[in-house]
Amino acid sequence: MKTIYQFFITSVLACAASSSAILPREAGFEHVYDSNLDAWKRATNQAPKGYAPQAVDCPSTRPSIRVASGLSDQETKWLEKRRSNTIAPMRDLLTRLNITGFDAGRYVDDNRDNTTALPNIGIAFSGGGYRAMTNGAGNLAAFDSRTPNSTNTGQIGGLLQSATYIAGLSGGGWLVGSIYVNNFTTVQNIIDKNSDGSVWQLGNSILEGPKTGGIQALSTVQYYGNLYDTVISKQDAGFNFNVSLTDYWGRALSFQLINASEGGPGYTWSSIQDDADFKDGNAPMPIIVADERNPGEAIISLNSTVFEFNPFEMGSFDPTLYGFAPLRYLGSNFTGGELPDEDKCIGGFDSAGFIMGTSSSLFNIAISQLDSFKGVPQLVKDALKGVLVNIGRDNNDIADYKPNPFYHFNNRSNPSAQAERLTLVDGGLDLQNIPLNPLIQPPRNMDVIFAVDSSSDTLKADGSYSAWPNGTALVATYERSTNASIQNGTAFPAIPDQNTFVNLGLNNRPTFFGCDASNLTGPAPLIVYLPNSPYVYNSNTSTNQMDYNNTERNAMIQNGYLVATMGNGTRDVQWPTCVGCAILSRSLNRTNTAVPDVCRQCFDRYCWNGTVASSTPPPYEPTPVFTLLKVKSGVGRFVPNVLGFALVAAVSGFLAL
């Protein structure tokens, strides 16, 4: 128990070091098994030997680390295709959104030969465990024109098809990751499979493994045996790789998120670049975010380096690292940015599960507590103890990237330049719980970002979490953008304090930030903030909740759908129009086009206008918009106690400081 205590104290200190103190706002996980194996796959089984990275032939140009002074050539080429493929869906969407007095079709047609004039859209899904994955899924379903009826009046389907980038972090990374790894399937498709599906069966504990009965039925012993064998195969691959709890966690997650035999141990994130649809620019680029933990430091502060994993590369635009490694050859011995001639190229290190696990490494805590859990083979318990001894218990949440691809790279400012391993942690630990960092990089030219926030921020009178967001994630990204030593050319709209969010209800309905392009510190996108709020379900479930049966899961998703559509337009019939106006705002400025009246009305209603109301609000207790669905949820079994204890310990620890 001491471990967890220390771990959470670490996070609390991290929070205290930045602005307001919070606890981790994310949570745990689950799984079940499969039928219909290998039916969908976008990421593929490209690793040379399952989970164990292996030597592979080097490409004719030896892979190297590049300086982050712009986008990679691969991304630049891909963008040309993607931007032009967004034109038709965007035209369709904007004409459907009923922007009275504005001929959206003609506007798009007039500018179609010059895509840089047209809107460039990003979408970001916050962390927050299952809550974030399911609430995010509802929002995603609303954005996706493939969802039945999502293109009817009052709906906003087609936003996904019009977007260029889609980023996820921790629980939001599970959402983005599992959609892409499963052949860019739809949320609806996953739900329709119901209990016959293999992914998102959140009713069984991820710690117990797949339910018996599927065609791949495994007992808990076999399940752990499988996790153990695959992880050890990496350790024993012969190239001195380290394994960390994140390897076990990522493998366990994969059983829930990847629809393939044994959770697809050989599925790599870089394989997405070879998928025909992604390659042709038919889907947005998925990005997963993690933070760096500097050698010898326990604290993740706002100036920690933010890493991204896109299908081509991993690395950071931050001035600390300012470099990118080719994802496909992660695990190779790069030194000073080069791969020495005598060194082989390694393939298969970038397991999709490992990357999703890295972004959500906070949940390693579940894996570290298996001692008390029935059915876990002694061999596995011993292996986990070994891992903890090797890396030190204080570091049980890291993902160990050894060899460090950035070894001796950018020696002056790279905190890990002298370290043989790179240690990454949960992307939400720096309080930037919405993965905006990759999307506000100037070379990506985002005009508008739909920021889905499922954070657990708000507190009850007794100090426990009521688990609604209150803008903390945006505040963090704004603060970072004002810190000259770390922001490195990124700009972000002004964001008020959290009390203002609650007092003005900015966390209860969609809010736009940065509407006035002349009041920014540099080119910055307009932010459409979509906070989790109750429509038909109290979707402020605890980060600790590890069990969601399918009715509850679906209620969360349905509620998320209504968050994005404001109750199918019930709360405001003009909401879909306002979405269109937000999409167009920067583009209208660029093309010197008058803002339609109906958009001015929208901006009056949805743009934060600079008002601040910073007095301490009473506890936030939102009233659901509609009659609640009748769903009772099972209470989590194992992990809730562990996390629950940790949270209590951490809070008392913090208050004692």
Query: Which of 222, 549, 613, 637 contacts ligand NAG by CB under 6 A?
Result: 549
- Cα atoms in the Cβ-side hemisphere of radius 13 Å centred on 299: 10
Query: Which of 143, 228, 248, 322 contacts ligand NAG by CB under 6 A?
Result: 322
Q: How far apart are the first and last CA of the chain?
A: 20
State the Cα–Cα distance between residues 587 and 570, nearest whole angstrom: 28
* Contact indicator for 376, 205 with CB cutoff of 8 Å: no
State the Cα–Cα distance between residues 400 and 163, nearest whole angstrom: 33
Q: Is 418 in the site for ligand NAG (CB under 6 A)?
A: no
Q: What is the largest CA-CA distance in the chain?
A: 70
Options 35-43, 158-166, 218-226, 255-263: segment touching ligand NAG (CB under 6 A): 35-43
Number of residues forming the site for ligand NAG (CB under 6 A): 68
Indicate the DSSP class of residue 329: G
Q: What is the enclosing helix (H) or strand (E) of 168? A: strand 163-169
Query: Which of 219, 372, 390, 589 contacts ligand NAG by CB under 6 A?
Result: 589
Prior bond to 443 cis, omega within 30?
no
Q: How far is CA 141 from CA 41, 133, 160, 176, in A?
A: 19, 12, 9, 12
Options 244-252, 261-269, 361-369, 631-639: segment touching ligand NAG (CB under 6 A): 631-639
Residue that is written with structure tokens 């470099």 in the block: 323
Q: With CA atoms as reference, report the closest residue to 353 among 225, 228, 204, 249.
A: 249
User: Nearer to ligand NAG by C-beta: 201 or 568?
Assistant: 568
Query: 377-406: which residues touch ligand NAG (CB under 6 A)?
Result: 403
Query: Which of 16, 58, 87, 117 contacts ligand NAG by CB under 6 A?
Result: 117
Query: Which of 517, 613, 628, 648 contacts ligand NAG by CB under 6 A?
Result: 517
CA dihedral 580, 581, 584, 586 (to 10 degrees): -150
Query: Which of 186, 216, 395, 498 contacts ligand NAG by CB under 6 A?
Result: 498
Q: What are phi and psi of 167, to 5 degrees?
A: -115, 150
Query: Which of 3, 19, 591, 593 contacts ligand NAG by CB under 6 A?
Result: 591
Residue that is written with structure tokens 């951490």 in the block: 650
Q: Is 100 in the site for ligand NAG (CB under 6 A)?
A: yes
Handedness of CA 623, 629, 630, 636 (dihedral sign): negative
User: Nearer to ligand NAG by C-beta: 114 or 212?
Assistant: 114
Q: Is 198 in the site for ligand NAG (CB under 6 A)?
A: no
Options 5-13, 254-262, 485-493, 648-656: segment touching ligand NAG (CB under 6 A): 485-493
Q: Is 120 in the site for ligand NAG (CB under 6 A)?
A: no
Classify strands 399-401 and 163-169 as parallel, antiparallel or unpaired.
Answer: unpaired
Query: 150-189: which residues touch ligand NAG (CB under 6 A)?
Result: 153, 183
User: Nearer to ligand NAG by C-beta: 376 or 588?
Assistant: 588
Options 73-81, 284-292, 550-558, 649-657: segment touching ligand NAG (CB under 6 A): 550-558
Q: Is 445 in the site for ligand NAG (CB under 6 A)?
A: no
Written as six digits, the tokens of 447 are: 């005009």
Query: 595-614: which residues touch ligand NAG (CB under 6 A)?
Result: 598, 608-610
- The 204-243 contact track toward ligand NAG, x by CB under 6 A, reads -----------------------------------xx---
User: Nearer to ligand NAG by C-beta: 225 or 569?
Assistant: 569
**Min separation Cβ 282 and ligand NAG, Å:** 8
Q: With CA atoms as reference, report the closest residue to 399 among 454, 357, 349.
A: 357
Query: Which of 65, 502, 599, 642 contacts ligand NAG by CB under 6 A?
Result: 502
Q: Is 81 in the site for ligand NAG (CB under 6 A)?
A: no
CA angle 561, 28, 509 (to 5 degrees): 30
Q: Is 627 in the site for ligand NAG (CB under 6 A)?
A: no
User: Nearer to ligand NAG by C-beta: 450 or 608?
Assistant: 608
Q: Is 408 in the site for ligand NAG (CB under 6 A)?
A: no
> What single string gives the DSSP state of each residue in 84-144?
HHHHHHHHHHHHHTT-TT--HHHHHHHHTT-GGGS--EEEEE---HHHHHHHHHHHHHHH-
Written as six digits, the tokens of 422 are: 């790179």
- Cα atoms in the Cβ-side hemisphere of radius 13 Å centred on 139: 30
Residue ranges in contact with ligand NAG by CB under 6 A: 17, 20-22, 39-41, 55, 98, 100, 114, 116-117, 148-149, 153, 183, 239-240, 277, 301, 303, 319, 322, 333, 343-344, 346, 403, 413, 457-459, 470, 472, 485, 488-489, 493-494, 498-499, 502, 516-519, 523, 549-552, 562, 567-568, 589-591, 598, 608-610, 617, 620, 626, 632-634
